[in-house]
Chain A
Amino acid sequence: MATKSASILNPKIIWPAIGDAFKKLDPRLMVKNPVMFVTMVGAAISTVDIFRSPGQTGFVIQIAIWLWFTVLFANFAEAVAEGRGKAQAKALRATRTRTNANKISSNGKTEVVDAESLRKGDVVVVRATELIPADGEIITGAATVDESAITGESAPVIREAGGDRSAVTGGTRVLSDEINIRITANPGEGFLDRMISLVEGARRQKTPNEIALTILLAALTVVFLLAVVTLKPYGVYANTDFSNAVLVSLLVCLIPTTIGGLLSAIGIAGMDRLLQKNVLAMSGRAVEAAGDVDVLLLDKTGTITMGNRQATAFVPAPGVTEKELAAAAQLASLADETPEGRSIVVLAKQFGIRARTIHDLPDAQFVPFTAQTRMSGVNWDGELIRKGAANSIRQFVGGKMPQEIEQIVETISLSGGTPLVVATSKAVLGVVHLKDIVKGGLADRFKRFRAMGIRTVMITGDNKLTAAAIAREADVDDFLAEARPEDKLALIRHEQQGGRMIAMIGDGTNDAPALAQADVGVAMNTGTQAAKEAGNMVDLDSNPTKLLEIIEIGKQLLITRGSLTTFSIANDVAKYFAIIPAMLMVTFPAIAPLNIMKLHSPNSAILSAVIFNALIIIALIPLALRGVKFRPLGAAQILRRNLLIYGLWGIILPFFGIKLIDLVIAGLHLA
């Protein structure tokens, strides 16, 4: 993203947020958050009470001010969370300048039209340096495209007709060549439009867990409202008149304002964190679902392995030294620009063979790989050196290879590797062991997921033997070999029937059904339009390992909500010990021992609790926006840890906080 570096405490976000905090006082907006709405009504009541409390005016004014602050702090938290998204949306909007398009009409002529007039199915031609007018699919041609407007990545990417790299996004720029595009989105419905509205949070809907939590918070608010309102008649019975300001203070301290005030900020910030990772979630629901994932489906190629096989060993035939084989293999691969070929050259160097290049051998004749021969190699110094699959070489050497070679080939195949036989026209020299290289650090990562109870399943088109070997090396829990698209879909359905939640990442059109079926389907931005439509997230970096980060963010989102809820409720204990004795001290002085914090006076006790309650919101904004630190542990350990931090400390901390504030208030003679 263009504004990736914007930090939480960026003044550009803070200042507008302060203004927004006031704008959000609109009761029509406030009513959506029951906890803060009750707080605002309480603030209003205590404001009115200022004029009805002669002798207590100073105290009631302070209560009213701090209650308004409580509401404003919560609004501010939400505004800050929204701030970064708004800044990004602004940057994105700037790229959406008015453009013209070269539309190819049905009679084959090209006419220049306003991009806004394009509809699904229209075909346009885009030339170098021109902006792509709308989302579409390349039907002919290939081009380099600058997609930095949406991905923030400045290196251009290649887009071409056919295959899985055919989708282009409106608002990106063609740098070279010329392409014909079939438009796939009407104006206003394009990827960029959706992206703007998503980052802006304009269409933000509450996620399922957020709704459930809101119900819980509303119910607690009702209970506390009742507990406080009934104190009025109880007071009448006990000949004690509790003032409105005091009752409102107690109410606001008891209802879960901490989590109520930060709840929406947590949700917005979670989506935003995903955006920082260059993942665009189509809904908050998908982010939440990511936290629930039980099974990860990972494509082998590109995700688990480097995507290319590499030479790892030279296995010579009897009577041939390893070095001789290495030298021959290197010669045969000098002109081979494929990653496999490069890796053979690199491996051969380890045998003390000096790095040769094509230019060192001017008289050599290189034989490129063709689909017919299925071999490549070199004719040099009167010798024909070839490397290729066992079948091809067998034909090359006259239909029969030595028994030893056949055995080596089989051993390598069984171990999951790919054997590449090297031969001259006279004899078979040996076999190069090509192997899928598992990406570094993956096994460790999968272990972390296993600790969290998430199973990893590798999907590959390889045969079972190869698949099993790689699965073992990568330390995945399971694999699906010789997988066709319908197999993927069947696997997802099967797991879902068992009650599990599935996440997968894909890019091709043939991935689309599986992406749609998965609970969390992440499409790569480089992928086809169909894949992007089917998934509920788009990874702008097109990095398959991103799934792991998405899951962590999803979990972190839920953990933050749960932790702050626990903290919020646990805080009430100390507030009770501050306010209840203060309320009854006048009528029942005997209750003094209950004032265990030895707060200065009834008024200072109540004021301290209210101030603590307001300040804790501000204090927790960074945590709400950043999220509780996620640790890849089992549920039992996470629970124990968070209960200790947010539950136990939630009970203890406010005792100190309130006492401290009370000391300040007493010192300043505020109450």
Chain B
Amino acid sequence: MHANQWLELAVYIAVLVAITKPLGLYLNRILDANGRTWLDPVLRPLERLTYVILRVDPAREQGWKQYALALLVFSLVSCLFTYVILRIQEHLPLNPQTFGALTPHLAFNTAVSFVTNTNWQSYGGESTMSYFSQMVALVFHNFFSAAAGIAVAAALVRGIARANSHTIGNFWVDITRVTYYLLLPVCIIYALFLISQGMIQNFKPYTTATLIEPQTVSVQKTDANGNPVKDAQGNPVMVNQTLTTQSIPQGPMASQIPIKMLGTNGGGYTNANAAYPYENPTPLSNFIQMLSILAIGSALTYHLGRATKNQKHGWSVWTAMFVMFLAGVLLCWWAEAKGNPIHQHLGVAAADGNMEGKEVRFGIFDSALFATVTTDASCGAVNSMHDSFTPLGGLVPMFNIQTGEVIFGGVGAGLYGMLIFVVIAVFIAGLMVGRTPEYLGKKIEAYDVKMTLLAFVILAIIILGFTAWACVTKWGLAGLNNNGPHGFSEILYAYTSCAGNNGSAFAGLTANAPQYDTTLGIDMLLGRFAMIVPLLALAGSLAKKKIIPASAGTFPVTGATFVILLVGTVLLVGALTFLPALTLGPIVEHFLMLQGTLF
């Protein structure tokens, strides 16, 4: 934990704070159908044309049911669109490596993964996807799933801010404006920046390089049909193989990476994701990528404050997120810098901590910060392997996701997820001030509590339920590369990551099997839409209510007490739900590591 790294952390935080207000103000204009921006001269005609083609009347707002229906229909249709492309990839252009069609379960998993803004990848990008699939089937969702997330957050904020209203905005207008005015322009500039750092953008076939130093690797022996050969005990037979060449993937990366980060999608172009030099060429690109992950999530809190005319509340929510972010970074960084006592004992440890699974270009701190940032937001891009973190270091990313992705969170998803906790906190503590709980002048009544908790409970049900199922079935255990608590962590992380629409993986789990692809796919769908629908219902219910004027008796949603209350609610509710499971995974593993057992 060097001074240099502290400095980088300080700069990261300072820049994040600095962009929150301007970006928040800009979001405010975008999320108002009549808002003006300096891009209007260029984009307004395009926006109008889009409405004409879509036959949308931008002046006509929707009630929550219509809004939800529009979102679901849009998601379903676009999901099918991607599914079809992936299934017929071999017949489509821009496929220099002549990749074949994806299996039905992988295509399902991938289509669902991208439409839900999860970007869980049961495949390696450079060995599975054609350039066409990358640029059309996947990037489409990178933009629109992000826009949809922001739209839902905007709708919920409208519900909170409005009084006596039956509508919460127009879904088509929201995703159009977010895409045109925010995501596209930023990504174009962002792409040019990344190219300047050395990122590639081409349609060339992969190049083959000759290795200066041939490498010998141990690989599984396969029979003539390509199936692994196993010995009498059922363990795979390993053989040595000498490699003299390396295939270097090419392709349109610069058009894909900006939105992967900005839209908290996280689906890597290559399997190594942001650890791969082309996807993350320089320390500066690494810094900007980390920043862009949290940018919109952070700015949305400013939008919340602005829209509800209570900027202090916006900053209070921001502070609650920030406190948890900082705690996560420090714990993860500390655990990784402290390293693995067993390695140290054996004299094989790197000098500055646990370097297993980390890119030497980034080192301990940038890996720990990236891991925290990517799991705080439901991004899921990685520049190191979370699987190889120390138990406590790996606990941080997992717990971050289990909080419900509310620490800045996925674009839009972070804010609406956090508002669940705000409502729960306001409800419980609100009773304590002796009034029917109110959130910004809106009474929180039985229906609102019901919808909020529905959105909350679904996350616990799918994470714990699917993990329980997988860890006692043959197919579940077949995917494991590690046994013991670590294997359990891998399964738990997979379902956690998918339910939280994060998409990062505790690598080590071979998830591309029909059962995993399918259950993880369902996990992602429920984690996204089973949460969004009740929240839109909440937005609809809140929008209809009167706003009670604030007085000294009003529950304060600003200030230190509220921040502590909110953080406490997130941690306590998150911890109480997942602690038993976490104990059997990383916590037991940590204590076993201290006693000298590794997995």
Q: Does A413 contact B (CB under 8 A)?
A: no
Tell which of A226, A501, A584 touches B588, judged by Cβ atoms closer than 8 Å. A584
**Known pairs A573-B572, A636-B559, A643-B561; A590 contacts B434 (CB<8 A):** no
Interface residues of A toward B: which range? 35 or more
The 7 A-B pairs of least Cβ separation, nearest first, read A562-B431, A453-B553, A555-B434, A453-B551, A562-B432, A453-B552, A219-B453
Chain A residues, Cβ within 8 Å of B592: 588, 590
Nearest neighbor of A213 in chain B, beta-carbon distance: B431
Q: Does B441 lie within 8 Å of A499, measured CB to CB? A: yes
Chain A residues, Cβ within 8 Å of B575: 573
Tell which of B432, B453, B471, B572 touches A639, judged by Cβ atoms closer than 8 Å. B432
Q: Does B577 lie within 8 Å of A236, measured CB to CB? A: no
Chain B residues, Cβ within 8 Å of A209: 431, 436-437
Give A contacts to B, CB under 8 Å.
Answer: 208-209, 211-213, 215-216, 219, 222-224, 226-238, 250, 254, 288, 291-292, 294, 450-455, 497-501, 554-556, 558-559, 561-563, 565-566, 569-570, 572-573, 576, 580, 584, 588, 590-594, 630, 634-636, 638-640, 642-643, 646-647
Nearest neighbor of B593 in chain A, beta-carbon distance: A590
Q: Given known contacts A209-B436, A250-B580, what 16 new A-B pairs fall within 8 Å (CB)?
A: A211-B446, A212-B446, A213-B427, A216-B427, A219-B454, A226-B465, A227-B464, A453-B552, A500-B549, A556-B434, A559-B433, A590-B588, A592-B591, A636-B561, A639-B433, A643-B432
In Å, the complex CA distance between A224 and B577 comes to 7
Nearest neighbor of B591 in chain A, beta-carbon distance: A590
Tell which of A233, A288, A450, A576 touches B579, judged by Cβ atoms closer than 8 Å. A576
Nearest neighbor of A645 in chain B, beta-carbon distance: B432
Q: Does B552 lie within 8 Å of A562, measured CB to CB? A: no
Chain A residues, Cβ within 8 Å of B448: 212
B569-593 vs A, Cβ < 8 Å mask (1 yes, 0 no):
0001001111111011001100110
Interface residues of B toward A: which range? 35 or more
In Å, the complex CA distance between A291 and B580 comes to 39
In whole Å, how far is B491's beta carbon from the nearest beta carbon of chain A? 8
Q: Which of B121-129, B405-413, B455-463 contacts A (4 or more CB under 8 A)?
A: B455-463
Chain B residues, Cβ within 8 Å of A211: 446
Q: Does A234 lie within 8 Å of B581, measured CB to CB? A: yes
A-B contact pairs, 19 of them (CB 8 A): A208-B446, A216-B428, A219-B456, A224-B576, A227-B460, A227-B464, A227-B577, A227-B579, A230-B467, A231-B584, A233-B468, A453-B552, A562-B430, A576-B579, A584-B584, A584-B588, A594-B591, A635-B554, A636-B559
A-B contact count (CB 8 A): 218
Q: Does B184 contact A (CB under 8 A)?
A: no
Scoring A250, A498, A588, A594 by chain B CB atoms within 10 A of each residue's CB, the highest score goes to A588
Q: Does A558 lie within 8 Å of B584, measured CB to CB? A: no
In Å, the complex CA distance between A226 and B461 comes to 7
Q: Does B450 lie within 8 Å of A288, measured CB to CB? A: no
Q: Does A639 lie within 8 Å of B464, measured CB to CB? A: no
In Å, the complex CA distance between A228 and B576 comes to 11
In whole Å, how far is B241's beta carbon from the nearest beta carbon of chain A? 34
In whole Å, how far is A286's beta carbon from the nearest beta carbon of chain B? 13
Q: Does B434 lie within 8 Å of A499, measured CB to CB? A: no
Q: Does B565 lie within 8 Å of A643, measured CB to CB? A: yes
Chain B residues, Cβ within 8 Å of A254: 576
Tell which of A213, A454, A570 touches B553, judged by Cβ atoms closer than 8 Å. A454
Q: Does B434 lie within 8 Å of A569, measured CB to CB? A: no
In Å, the complex CA distance between A75 and B15 comes to 57
Chain A residues, Cβ within 8 Å of B551: 294, 453-455
Q: Does B568 lie within 8 Å of A237, measured CB to CB? A: no
In whole Å, how far is A581's beta carbon from the nearest beta carbon of chain B? 8
Q: Does A559 lie within 8 Å of B591, measured CB to CB? A: no
Q: Does A588 lie within 8 Å of B588, measured CB to CB? A: yes
Chain A residues, Cβ within 8 Å of B434: 291, 452, 554-556, 558-559, 630, 635, 638
In whole Å, how far is A536's beta carbon from the nearest beta carbon of chain B? 16
In Å, the complex CA distance between A178 and B291 comes to 88
In Å, the complex CA distance between A512 and B31 comes to 48
In Å, the complex CA distance between A498 and B163 comes to 11
In whole Å, how far is A231's beta carbon from the nearest beta carbon of chain B? 5
Q: Does B553 lie within 8 Å of A635, measured CB to CB? A: yes
Nearest neighbor of B569 in chain A, beta-carbon distance: A569
Chain A residues, Cβ within 8 Å of B467: 230, 234
Nearest neighbor of A560 in chain B, beta-carbon distance: B431
Q: Does A635 lie within 8 Å of B556, measured CB to CB? A: yes
**Known pairs A219-B453, A590-B595; A450 contacts B552 (CB<8 A):** yes
Q: Does B353 contact A (CB under 8 A)?
A: no
**Known pairs A208-B445, A237-B472; A452 contacts B553 (CB<8 A):** yes
In Å, the complex CA distance between A554 and B464 comes to 40
